[in-house]
């Protein structure tokens, strides 16, 4: 899968849009600046970059423009994850999990979730990403 060209700073704009699109640039600035000490101009520059990259759409409205993401969050995360695994681990997930296990970064909850995911994959039991969202309580 092709890498999704979004920086960490641009991802914060995307997160605001995933939570509540469409938004005006002023609404995006307000949401992003709640958590980041950035100027409105910086956030507007990020919005412009994302439009240029084709990651968000801009629609003309009576008062200006509204913006919404092209990709939903799940598709974005899947693309970024696949790109990371391909780049860092030759496309294999097992070495990634092994790296976390060796650094003792996996909690008991993580291990339970991994076991559940492997079981679901082996059984062909529905969508794994749907199962993860339910277990993590991510129903946005």
Q: Work out the pLDDT band at 2, boundaries 50, 70, 90.
A: low
For the entire predicted model, the pTM comes to 0.75
The average pLDDT across 43-47 equals 98
Rounded to the nearest 5 degrees, what angle is found at the Cα of 130, between the Cα atoms of 129 and 134? 115
> In terms of CATH architecture, what is 1-91?
Orthogonal Bundle (1.10)
Q: What is the mean pLDDT of the chain?
A: 87
84-139 pLDDT, tens digit per residue, is: 999 999 999 899 888 888 888 888 898 899 899 889 988 886 566 554 455 444 44
Of 60, 77, 33, which Cα lies nearest the Cα of 13?
33
pLDDT value at residue 139? 45
3-state secondary structure of 6: coil
140 pLDDT tier (thresholds 50, 70, 90)? very low
Q: Which pLDDT score is estimated for 135?
A: 47
Here the tokens at position 80 are 């970024």
Alpha-helical segments (H) within 6-140: 8-19, 25-35, 40-52, 73-89, 94-102, 108-123, 128-136
Residues 17-29 pLDDT 10s: 999 999 999 999 9
- Closest C-alpha to 54, from 66, 69, 73, 43: 69
Q: What is the DSSP letter of 67?
A: E
The DSSP call for residue 33 is: H
Pairing of strands 56-61, 23-24: unpaired
pLDDT of residue 21: 95
């Amino acid at each position: 899968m092709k890498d999704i060209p979004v920086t960490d700073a641009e991802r914060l704009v995307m997160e605001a849009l995933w939570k509540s699109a469409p938004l005006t640039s002023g609404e995006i600035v307000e949401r992003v600046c709640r958590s980041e000490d950035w100027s409105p101009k910086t956030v507007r520059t990020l919005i412009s970059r994302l439009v240029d990259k084709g990651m968000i759409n801009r629609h003309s409205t009576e008062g200006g423009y509204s913006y919404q993401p092209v990709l939903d969050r799940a598709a974005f995360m899947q693309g970024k994850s696949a790109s990371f695994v391909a780049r860092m681990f030759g496309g294999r997930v097992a070495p990634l999990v092994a790296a976390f296990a060796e650094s003792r970064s996996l909690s008991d909850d993580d291990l339970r979730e991994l076991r559940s995911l492997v079981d679901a994959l082996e059984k062909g039991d529905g969508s794994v990403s749907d199962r993860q969202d339910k277990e993590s309580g991510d129903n946005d």
